[in-house]
């Protein structure tokens, strides 16, 4: 019987700890990091090509939704959404940089072709 009581007490303590963690506020550094990534993507004009634009829109929407979740006390969900917003903003930047690099390469190759044609 004592073992059964100990098991129930352990489960209750674990549940209480898990609930306590779920309600802990999202660290300001996480909010700042996600916001900075989205802002950087916007400042770098990571909205071309369309794939980058789509990722930036998703990141912006996720950031706004995370704020609403924090306001509603859904800190764990907000934290996960902030992680996704940061990753999507970084992906938008990477897609845009790749596209710019490909255009620069194509332009340089065209210049070399023009020089060799003369």
Residue 59: C-alpha distances to residues 46, 89, 106, 115 (Å): 12, 5, 30, 43
pTM, two decimals, is 0.73
What is the pLDDT, as a whole number, of residue 7? 61
Task: Name residues of the chain where pLDDT drops below 50.
Answer: 1, 20-21
What is the pLDDT, as a whole number, of residue 56? 95
What is the pLDDT, as a whole number, of residue 44? 86
Sign of CA dihedral 41, 42, 48, 54: positive
């Amino acid at each position: 019987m004592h073992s059964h009581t100990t098991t129930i007490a352990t489960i209750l303590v674990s549940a209480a700890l898990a609930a306590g963690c779920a309600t802990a506020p999202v660290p300001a550094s996480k909010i700042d990091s996600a916001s900075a990534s989205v802002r950087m993507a916007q400042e770098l004009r990571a909205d071309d090509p369309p794939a980058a634009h789509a990722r930036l829109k998703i990141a912006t929407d996720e950031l706004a939704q995370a704020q609403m979740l924090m306001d509603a006390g859904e800190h764990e969900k907000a934290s996960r959404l902030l992680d996704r917003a940061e990753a999507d903003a970084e992906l938008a930047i990477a897609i845009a940089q790749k596209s710019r690099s490909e255009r620069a390469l194509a332009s340089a190759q065209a210049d070399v072709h023009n020089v060799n044609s003369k």
